[in-house]
A and B are shown apart, each in its own frame.
Chain A
């Protein structure tokens, strides 16, 4: 039985909720809204109702499960790979600084790894007031249990009110484990973070249903308020070598039986830029025609210093590996420049790239939906246009 309550006296049968429901759970019967069992209580219909006839019971516990006042401060997990800090962590330090200032609390960076002391200094230069530095051989390559165990004990001891992690493969792996053990709220893949001026809660905004709706989420009665944050949502802060912070070395307390996973090998993508992090992406789709067609795409990406993406069709046809797929069942990206070559722009592809700053579409079909969201477009044969564009950029950018 669905949770949604419909006040039949208030309902005017406008159908606004029927259109707003992403699940097809609402319909009009005799000019009144009716809900069926497809309803998952997602709340998408509530705002669509002009007469407030819809209601979801707010059956929340009246009292918090923890002493909320004991929790203070904003924390950021510094993701590193082979000793290099991920840009996403630095972006979060920038936003974390703003949130901490708004809450008038300290910003803490958590640096876990082996031989990563340089990251403690980096974190301070990007705004951290305090750094927890945990150095242990068992932390040299990321695996879930030792990282989660270390962070959980730090959180239990020092009680942050907000804890941010990157929405990377590692960040999502780690956050889900930590939040589960602590019984606290975790909002995944946020694209907006703010503080509610009235109650000081973290307002976490994220896309759902392939980016077709946005939801703002709070965690009122559990701590810390945890969120993972998408790549390239927040601006990179400028390093300030004068900024002062305290480094607190912490001894790792990892039991041998906690280590159930061993990294045997890492196979890095050769000559490729990390798609999730890329400022510029050149993508190919069905119009590329085959594996060798991607050479044309790669040349343009190379000249622009960008990464190579693809649509699902090109991956399914075996022209390029899945690691390059952008869209609903691939990666979500938001580069400054996205050049779509021979990509028609199906809704699943758009879900993965429609928040790019500037979108350029090159397609021979003038009716391709990609043109509906593009800033610039050329209708024509990509095998003529892309090489010519590559030449132009070569001459103009690399004189």
Chain B
């Protein structure tokens, strides 16, 4: 099995603290992490390889220091890593990101499964996975919660997807792109053995010039159909906390229930 896992380095929001005086985020010293959903994608890739054999290649589009995310993935056990970094890629929206990643995956050669996280926690779009699948013209399976059956000899996969109404079991043809949700597995930690390997591994950096058939007008900011024209802070919640304090629990509950009913939202 040739498995490709697409990962993104994102700001480690878990480290972010709120300044109690200004109510804004304290971003100093924010570390960068592998997008949490992508951790599940890496883990799933490693599990498939352990079961069926093959190779796991991680790939990431981002600024030069995103190489640390790739090293961490190799530290978990991924076999190879490719970094995509070029000023020409900067400012890519989800369309241009998917286009660039799809070209790089084509260059890698034969693949059976591409894994992505459900979405990145900074952009939150969840659109790059479907974009890659349609650029490559392969099956897409989003919001995958469980791989039920994988039969590479007959190019078949059966998965469970998580939808709003519940779960859905679908059978599909390989090759396929899977975007995975949390809870599909428990990502492993890096091991000393693999960290040593990651330190020695030469991770190639591909630029636009390394992508066969690339249309330079479809890359980065200028190739992105969408354009951000304004950034602003979200509106603050209006009103202050009405803290209910009464002599007994029953009284507190009575007051709170009256106030909620008075909101006329029930």
Alpha-carbon gap, A391 to B176, bound state (A):
51
Task: Kindly identify which residue among A40, A265, A380 contacts B249, using a CB–CB cutoff of 8 Å.
Answer: A380
Alpha-carbon gap, A60 to B145, bound state (A):
39
Quote the shortest CB–CB distance from B97 to chain A (angstroms): 11
A-facing mask of B166-200, CB < 8 A → 1, else 0?
A: 11111111001000011100000000000000000
Chain A hits for B253, CB < 8 A: 378, 385, 388-389, 391-392
B-facing mask of A7-37, CB < 8 A → 1, else 0?
A: 0000000000001011110000000000001
Contact of A177 with B169 at beta-carbon distance under 8 Å, contacts A168-B164, A214-B231, A219-B225 already known: no
Chain A residue nearest to B140 in the complex (CB):
A144
Task: Determine if B95 and A183 form an interchain contact, defined as CB atoms under 8 angstroms apart.
Answer: yes
Alpha-carbon gap, A3 to B234, bound state (A):
26
Quote the shortest CB–CB distance from B130 to chain A (angstroms): 3
A197 at interface, CB cutoff 8 A: no
Chain A residue nearest to B141 in the complex (CB):
A261
Task: Determine if A377 and B242 form an interchain contact, defined as CB atoms under 8 angstroms apart.
Answer: yes
Task: Kindly identify which residue among B18, B173, B244 contacts A376, using a CB–CB cutoff of 8 Å.
Answer: B244
B-facing mask of A44-68, CB < 8 A → 1, else 0?
A: 1011000000001111110000000
B-contacting residues, A300-326, CB 8 Å: 304, 315, 322-323, 325
Quote the shortest CB–CB distance from B254 to chain A (angstroms): 6
A195 at interface, CB cutoff 8 A: no
A110 at interface, CB cutoff 8 A: no
Quote the shortest CB–CB distance from A131 to chain B (angstroms): 24
Quote the shortest CB–CB distance from B112 to chain A (angstroms): 14
A102 at interface, CB cutoff 8 A: no
Chain A hits for B2, CB < 8 A: none
Alpha-carbon gap, A157 to B77, bound state (A):
48
Chain A hits for B18, CB < 8 A: 347, 369
Task: Determine if A188 and B95 form an interchain contact, defined as CB atoms under 8 angstroms apart.
Answer: no
Contact of A217 with B139 at beta-carbon distance under 8 Å, contacts A262-B170, A269-B166 already known: no
Task: Determine if A221 and B225 form an interchain contact, defined as CB atoms under 8 angstroms apart.
Answer: yes
Chain A residue nearest to B257 in the complex (CB):
A392
Task: Determine if B169 and A222 form an interchain contact, defined as CB atoms under 8 angstroms apart.
Answer: no
B-contacting residues, A139-157, CB 8 Å: 143-145, 148
Chain B hits for A323, CB < 8 A: 162, 166-167
Task: Kindly identify which residue among A39, A58, A221, A267 contacts B63, using a CB–CB cutoff of 8 Å.
Answer: A39
B30 at interface, CB cutoff 8 A: yes
Chain A hits for B107, CB < 8 A: none
A242 at interface, CB cutoff 8 A: no
Chain B hits for A375, CB < 8 A: 239, 241-242
Quote the shortest CB–CB distance from B224 to chain A (angstroms): 8
Task: Determine if A21 and B228 form an interchain contact, defined as CB atoms under 8 angstroms apart.
Answer: no
Chain B hits for A384, CB < 8 A: 249
Chain A hits for B165, CB < 8 A: 81, 266, 268-269, 274
Task: Determine if A222 and B225 form an interchain contact, defined as CB atoms under 8 angstroms apart.
Answer: yes
Q: What is the size, in residues, of chain B's interface with A at 8 Å between Cβ atoms?
A: 101
Q: Among the interface residues A61, A336, A389, which one has the most CB atoms of the partner chain B within 10 A?
A: A389
Task: Determine if B169 and A179 form an interchain contact, defined as CB atoms under 8 angstroms apart.
Answer: no
Task: Determine if A264 and B244 form an interchain contact, defined as CB atoms under 8 angstroms apart.
Answer: no
Task: Determine if B230 and A380 form an interchain contact, defined as CB atoms under 8 angstroms apart.
Answer: no
Quote the shortest CB–CB distance from B34 to chain A (angstroms): 13
Task: Kindly identify which residue among A24, A213, A315 contacts B232, using a CB–CB cutoff of 8 Å.
Answer: A213
Task: Determine if A47 and B237 form an interchain contact, defined as CB atoms under 8 angstroms apart.
Answer: no
Alpha-carbon gap, A24 to B12, bound state (A):
10
Task: Determine if A217 and B260 form an interchain contact, defined as CB atoms under 8 angstroms apart.
Answer: no
Contact of A216 with B65 at beta-carbon distance under 8 Å, contacts A3-B221, A40-B91, A369-B18 already known: no
A-facing mask of B18-41, CB < 8 A → 1, else 0?
A: 100001110111101000110000
B-facing mask of A74-88, CB < 8 A → 1, else 0?
A: 000000010000000
Chain A hits for B124, CB < 8 A: 188-189, 207-208, 210
Chain B residue nearest to A275 in the complex (CB):
B164
Contact of A19 with B27 at beta-carbon distance under 8 Å, contacts A37-B64, A38-B65, A388-B253 already known: yes
Quote the shortest CB–CB distance from B266 to chain A (angstroms): 7
Task: Determine if A40 and B90 form an interchain contact, defined as CB atoms under 8 angstroms apart.
Answer: yes
Chain B hits for A212, CB < 8 A: 25, 234
Task: Kindly identify which residue among A189, A216, A376 contacts B242, using a CB–CB cutoff of 8 Å.
Answer: A376
B-contacting residues, A174-198, CB 8 Å: 175-177, 179-181, 183-189
Alpha-carbon gap, A144 to B135, bound state (A):
14
A43 at interface, CB cutoff 8 A: yes
B5 at interface, CB cutoff 8 A: no
Q: List 6 A-B contacts (CB under 8 A).
A: A59-B222, A60-B222, A176-B94, A213-B234, A214-B232, A221-B225
Binding site for A on B (CB under 8 A): 11, 13-14, 16, 18, 23-25, 27-30, 32, 36-37, 62-65, 87, 90-91, 93-95, 98, 121-131, 133-135, 139-143, 145, 158, 161-173, 176, 181-183, 217-218, 220-222, 224-234, 237, 239, 241-245, 249-250, 252-254, 256-261, 263, 265-266
- List 4 A-B pairs, minimum CB-CB distance, nearest first: A176-B130, A185-B225, A41-B91, A388-B253
A221-B225, A264-B170, A391-B253 known; 16 new pairs, CB 8 Å cut-off, are A24-B29, A39-B90, A144-B130, A175-B130, A176-B94, A210-B121, A264-B171, A266-B169, A325-B182, A329-B121, A337-B265, A375-B239, A375-B242, A377-B244, A388-B249, A392-B256
